[in-house]
Amino acid sequence: HFSHPLEVAAILTDLKLDQSTIIAGLLHDVVEDTDVSVGDIRDLFGKDVADLVDGVTKLPKVTGTNAPRALIQAENFQKFILATTKDIRVLLVKLADRLHNMRTIEFMPTEESRLRISRETLDIYAPLARRVGLSIFAVELEDLAFRQVNPVAYSAITKRLEELMEDDTSMLDRIRSDLDTVMLARGVRGELHG
């Protein structure tokens, strides 16, 4: 879909990445999905962009994540990706691509494909995001994938968290009131936020 590369570029822009990485985000699927070559991209956008797009295109594909040794394989796969990626920006483009795929996963045609992509995300891409310092990506990837893999547990946890947040508000109000009283008695002026 045409909006996908724009959204990937927008995610990379939010990370305040350089121009080449953002352009690579726009073009990351072009070599695989069209007749455009890496050479064409080099001619039009320069070597840096072409190398990034080529790097994303050549990233190894995930296979066999449903095998019994899936977690060991996932760990090895993460290490392999890290070892074979010369430029960290290639991984950032791939992670932005996966993040947008997960944000729109409900549009995938089959439950089987949604589950496969979600398991890959939990086993490989969320931990990879954490390894390269993108915890904010990792958290969202895990949240979106867990919702697909175990919707019943996701719903139960979400409901309980909402209940705790409601309880927490009244508890915070009581703590704030108690601290206000103590501060007032001691002649301390200030505002409490929680």
Quick check: 135 and 129 in contact, CB under 8 A?
yes
Q: Which residues contact 120 (CB under 8 A, 6 or more apart)?
A: 62, 65
Specify whether the backbone of 187 is left (phi greater than 0), alpha (psi in -120 to 50) or beta. left
From the candidates 18, 32, 143, 173, give the one annotated as an active-site residue.
Answer: 32
Active-site residue, selected from the candidate residues 7, 14, 29, 33: 33
Give the C-alpha separation, 54 to 56, whole Å: 6
For 85, the 3-state DSSP assignment is coil
162 annotated active-site: no
32 is catalytic: yes
Active-site residues: which are they?
A: 32-33
